[in-house]
Structure 1
Amino acid sequence: MARIRRGLPKLTPARAKHLVGIGKVVVPLLAPFAIKAASAARDGYDRMRARKLGVPVEHLATYSGRGGALHARIAGIANAVAELRVNASEEVTAFAKDSEARLVELAAVVRAAERMPAPRRKTAHRSVATELDRIESHLLHHLGV
């Protein structure tokens, strides 16, 4: 503090040389720990994103981008519809067939929206989300929930 008050420089050439010497010793010792901490933080972040999307961590790269959450939702609904179709009545089979075709169209809309300007993309994503809500409610009805 006395140096600052007297107007002396904080970093002198001798002090800089001393700090570089310390850095040459300390950095190689701390680097592995820093790399391990960064890796653990990234792994935790990936697990959180995968949990939020409802997909396994291994499939997280498949659902990246601005429409990633919608793609994950479409895939989840498609899996549920495919399971519903097995040993189902004629009405449920017709619903499953219509829903699968509509889900393919919605996936195409989400992929196309990736290249749209932000306002149009958001509008497209909102309409896809609304349509997915409708399909999910019908799916839950057919599952008896």
Structure 2
Amino acid sequence: MTGKQAKRMIGVGTAVAPLLAPYALAAAGAARGAWDARKAARLGIAADQLGAYAGPGGALHARLSRVAETLTELESSTTHATDGATAFVADTRPRLADLAVAVRAAEQMPTARRRTAYKAIGHELDRIEIDLLTHLGVATG
């Protein structure tokens, strides 16, 4: 490539760049929107709630939130509101609060310890979710 060809390419680039910039920005915005929608779907939340569940513990906070919402639905349900379900809700709410505190505390830990803590919290949430599904009448196998 000669100097003359390089100057010509730079000239064409400076003339074309302002014309293509809005399309590039629109494409970048669309890509970011699709990425956010995919991440929100993976977490099981709406895309507008994604900012509330950001950070290393975001996925666990989202799970905790969804379990708390389901506990409220179980408590207010006329079909599944048994004495056992009411006791389960009363016992589980403080446990969810403790797990939320544990997630926030683990966010300050070094990476290896944080992963271990998150794994333990995830296993505890798995157990709570299985019990919740049992009270909702869903066979978990």
* TM-score greater than 0.5 by the shorter chain: yes
Q: Which moved more, 1:82-91 or 1:48-57?
A: 82-91
Moved more, 90-99 or 134-143: 90-99
| Structure 1 residue 89 displacement after superposition | 2.3
Cα-to-partner distance string for 1:12-51 (whole Å, 9 max, x where unaligned): 2x22321221112110111111001000000000000000
28, 34, 37: which is aligned to 2:18? 28
| C-alpha distance in structure 1 between counterparts of 2:6 and 2:133, whole Å | 68
TM-score (structure 2 length as normaliser): 0.91
Is 2:99 aligned against 1:99?
no
Residue aligning to 2:115:
122
Per the alignment, residue 7 of structure 1 pairs with: none
Indicate yes or no: 2:26 matched with 1:39. no
- The aligned residue for residue 67 of structure 1 is 57
Residue 132 of structure 1 is matched in structure 2 by: 125
**Quick one: distance in 1 between partners of 2:41 and 2:2?**
49
- The 4+ residue runs of structure 1 with deviation greater than 6 A are none
Q: RMSD of the alignment, in Å?
A: 1.0
Q: For residue 94 of structure 1, what is the amino acid of its counterpart?
A: A
Partner of 1:3: none
Q: Which of 78, 81, 84 is matched with 2:74 structurally?
A: 84
Whose radius of gyration is greater, 1 or 2? 1
Q: 2 CA distance for matches of 1:110 and 1:71? A: 7
Unaligned runs of 5+ in 1: 1-9
For residues 128 and 95 of structure 1, the distance between their equivalents in structure 2, rounded to whole angstroms, comes to: 19
CA distance in 1, matches of 2:26, 2:68: 38
In the alignment, the residues of structure 2 paired with residue 68 and residue 142 of structure 1 have an alpha-carbon distance, to the nearest angstrom, of: 27
Percent identity of the aligned residues? 48
TM-score between the two structures when normalised by the length of structure 1: 0.89
